[in-house]
Amino acid sequence: MITYRSGYKYQLRNTYKISTGIIPPYELTTRYLTLGTDGKLTIKAGYAWDGASGPAIDTQNFMRGSLVHDALYQLMEDKHLSHDHMEAIDRLLQKLCIEDGMSKMRAWWVYQGVKYGGKAKTPKYDKIAP
């Protein structure tokens, strides 16, 4: 699923799709990311991301969650997705980590870390052009 990419920790080898529950008012598309109005996120092969941040440790049960979380935060940081979705994105990270075998306690700490340490600065939709 991943390889090392200079400047980032990881690079996606194959396109990955996941239903996120994050529903934008219109389809969002960038070079590597598409978030449809059905909540389906497509991350194209070649997408690079940093994995776990801060004091968190990259483990296998953190990889998918960090991929999806970083992609969705990038959509916020690039002003494609509203800041209103931050809580849902952070909770999705927690859910994916648990699904992938992370203990509920560690996943709770992961959630706390992104909740208090991962503040993306993005405007509301009324300030974002389609």
- Mean pLDDT of the 107-120 span: 81
8-12, 50-54, 58-62, 121-125, range with the lowest pLDDT:
121-125
Q: What is the pLDDT of residues 92-113, one digit of tens each?
A: 999 999 999 999 999 999 999 8
CB 50 within 8 A of CB 8: yes
pLDDT at 72 over 50: yes
For 14, other C-beta atoms within 10 Å of its C-beta total: 10
Q: What is the pLDDT of residue 92?
A: 97
**Domain chopping of the chain, boundaries:** 2-117
d(CA 104, CA 25): 32
pTM: 0.84
d(CA 28, CA 80): 7
- What percent of the chain has pLDDT above 90? 66
d(CA 112, CA 72): 17
- Mean pLDDT of the 87-95 span: 96
Q: Kindly tell me the number of DSSP H helices and DSSP E strands found in the chain.
A: 3, 7
Q: Please, is 110 exposed, middle or buried when counting C-beta atoms within 10 Å of its C-beta (0-12, 13-18, 19+)?
A: buried
